[in-house]
Amino acid sequence: MDNNFWIVFAITPFLIFFFYKRRSNNKKVKSKERDDDEVPLLGSLGWPLIGETIQFVSSAYSHHPETFVDKRRHLCRYGKVFKSHIFGSPTIISTDADVNKFILQSDAKLFVPSYPKSVTELMGKSSILLVNGSLQRRIHGLLGSFFKSHILKAQITTDMHNYVQESMANWTEESPIYIQDETKKIAFQLLVKALINLDPSEEMELIRKYFQEFISGIMSLPINLPGTQLHQSLQAKKKMVKLVLRIIQERRNGGITKVPKDVLDVLLNDSIEELTDDLIAHNIIDMMIPGEDSVPLLITLAIKYLSEYPAALQQLTEENMKLKKQKYHLGETLCWSDYLSLPFTQLVITETLRMGNIIIGAMRKATKDVKIKGYLIPKGWCVLANFRSVHLDEKNYDIPYQFNPWRWQDKELNNCNFTPFGGGQRLCPGLELARLEASIFLHHFVTQFRWYAEEDTIVNFPTVRMKRKMPIFVKRVES
């Protein structure tokens, strides 16, 4: 039998325990009488306690993660929106772009974020990833404005250039370069610099160590006892909070600058009473969760796809070499607007986001009975707005499993068929920075190296990653 079977078999006891605990805490959902204009939700709740989670997880581990959804949409004829029971809750799974848009753009009066218990335990009730209402809108607005500022983009460009050049200077032609590891290190350095203005140092390495211990508990059993993974992760977070609180106190003692140089300054400058030092420290750490993986995987997947599609690689290389020569002859260095103005590079990044689906979807829970396009989502049920299924639907994209950056020429990105960064009030505020970082790395990579990529496969659960960390052999090109 293949490895996927044994993985699912091994985790089944843990899943059963988790679902039993979660179900015991869930309120029973009462059945509702259907209105005449209401579309009946088809689907299956699967086995008692575990529902259809094993099928969902097994599919996610396979080479074709859409199997779970495709079987129910087409073979079982449930349609684009159907009911299931996964991860301990009765769940509506939506592969309908319009339904997903409604869910993402709804406020907390209709839907609130829904995460496994281990995640909520690690983040706490006041985390920006969980909090709702005015505080969430305030913090999200502050971050959005700062991340769009020219000052931060200029700083990110300078730092990214330095970190990339430092990393690539150590690459040799004799040994494989593991792109996923290299980009993770660079992105983490950049992330910590943007959050708390900390340069690479022993202190940053300590934060990296604590953070890896912290996120190891994201998908653990929700048992907080000494010796468990969740307990160890919570202890690691406490150490990180203590470190950030010390930095906060140093900032306050030295006087907080009115022109923010990092996210910490932005939050310390705000006068809202709910933003206590402890809440700020916890949220600084929680902000590392979505930022730590997304950019490295975006870059890694782009290199994988470019390795497999020579025509796209050739056009990307020509575009970046042309820009490099122009700037060299003018005696200028590249600024952030130069990178973001590379048209084909942006098409490659967009297509990578569509095919790679670094975020499979968004989980929400209905706070009341909600009707969408005639479907009734009962109060207390979870909803999975599935981005991946929309991005890979042949009705939305021609030959969806083919990497084709040219498909985005003269096409609007602001439509509900393309939501790699989510949407609504929780739209990722760092989406433009992610594009900038990926553009900078790809520019330096294709203008300095030619490479051969070894065979590797994408793993899609519990997070998207390369199975072998994307090993490549490089050869430097003459300047």
CATH number of the domain residue 276 falls in: 1.10.630.10
309 to 6, 273, 315, 348: CA distances (angstroms): 34, 53, 11, 11
Express each pLDDT in 370-392 by its tens digit.
Answer: 999 989 999 999 999 999 999 99
Whole-Å CA distances, 471 to 304, 404, 463, 468, 476: 10, 23, 19, 7, 16
pLDDT tens per residue, range 120-176? 888 887 788 888 888 888 888 999 999 999 999 999 999 999 999 999 999 999 999
Residue 407 predicted with pLDDT over 90: yes
Residue 416 counted as an annotated binding residue: no
What pLDDT is recorded for position 18? 52
299 contact partners, CB below 8 Å, separation of at least 6: 179, 183, 437, 438, 441, 442
- Check residues 219 and 270 and name the one with the higher pLDDT: 270
Q: How much is the pLDDT for 5?
A: 40
Phi-psi region of 88 (alpha: psi -120 to 50; beta: other; left: phi over 0): left
Looking at residue 330, its pLDDT comes to 82
pLDDT given at position 30: 43
Q: Is the pLDDT of residue 27 over 50?
A: no
Count of Cβ atoms closer than 10 Å to residue 34 Cβ? 11
Predicted confidence (pLDDT) at residue 344 exceeds the cutoff of 90: yes
Q: Give residue 39's pLDDT.
A: 64
Domains held by the chain: number: 1
Q: Is the dihedral of CA 17, 22, 28, 33 positive or negative?
A: negative
- The three-state DSSP-derived secondary structure of 174-237 is CCCEEHHHHHHHHHHHHHHHHHHCCCCCHHHHHHHHHHHHHHCCCCCCCCCCCCCHHHHHHHHH
pTM score, two decimals?
A: 0.90
Expressed as residue numbers, the domain containing 465 is 4-476
pLDDT of residue 177: 98
Higher pLDDT, 98 or 131: 98
Q: Is the pLDDT of residue 29 over 50?
A: no
- The rounded mean pLDDT for the chain is 88
